[in-house]
Amino acid sequence: MAIFKAGRRAVRYVVRHGRSKYAHLRLKDDDHLEVILPQASQVSARELLNKKRAWIERALLRLYGRKRVFDGNRLLVWGIPHRLKVVKATNNSVKMKDGTVVVGLNGEMNLRQTVKNWMEAKTREYAKRRLRHYGKKLAFEAESVGISDSRKWGHCTEDRRVFFNWQLAALPKELADYVVLHEASHLSEFNHGHHFHARLLSLCPDFRERDLSLRSVVPWLPEIFGVHTALAVSTSESRQTRPRSGKMDHA
């Protein structure tokens, strides 16, 4: 990827050509810019970036003001940042102690999988419990509940299967609860239309505010695990979207 300097930050960018008549930019969650140019564009990517420099600087400020599930040192658990510490252990384990998530590794399983298994268990228990709660209120039940590695917080299929991102346990509980309610509402309204939003409003009057807050949390992307594997190991302690492919997604 090429590099563009915006204010004090150097941002990576990639150039793609699309069918649109207009050139535009997208700032992706993994901190790179996507420059979309028409097939027969007379404008270069550099010209567009220079023209939109002020917009890029504002967008980067917003992005870096967001909370990340993992920032290289700290892991969010129910909305609270905890220092992540890796120790040698006889068995792979994860425990919380004095504001720190202590990951014990015996070398047979990597850090990514160990933390993922731990958070997945928390997410599954919470999602099932809250789905039962909302199922009684909505008089609809999910056929099954699954955990995914998608970048979406949750999605629901037309055959009433509900999936949640394993990182749901990183969110503050009021936001995790909103994600569960959002997907539970899709069991009866497989769209984002008026009736769907009316149902959300009846059960969660501030759902719009929660939806905005949810967008401020950046999921832990798989490649970021690689950054953390270099941590020292201590030896002292063991928007409205259209349905596609038969599912409704919630970012």
Q: What is the pLDDT of residues 133-166, one digit of tens each?
A: 999 999 988 999 999 988 889 999 999 999 999 9
Give mean pLDDT, residues 46-54: 90
182 pLDDT higher than 50: yes
Confidence of residue 9 (pLDDT cuts 50, 70, 90): confident
Tell me, rounded to whole angstroms, the distance of Cα 71 from its chain centroid. 13
Rg over alpha carbons for the chain, rounded to the nearest Å, is: 21
Confidence (pLDDT) at 168: 97
* AA letter at 160: R
Burial label for 246, CB within 10 Å (0-12, 13-18, 19+), is exposed
How far is the C-alpha of 165 from the C-alpha of 217, rounded, in Å? 13
The phi and psi torsions of 5 (rounded to 5 degrees) equal -90, 120
How far is the C-alpha of 174 from the C-alpha of 1, rounded, in Å? 38
**More confident site: 207 or 226:** 207
The domains of the chain, with CATH numbers, are 2-65 (no CATH), 74-237+240-250 (3.30.2010.10)
**Which DSSP category does 21 fall into?**
S
Q: Which residue has the tokens 């994860």?
A: 94
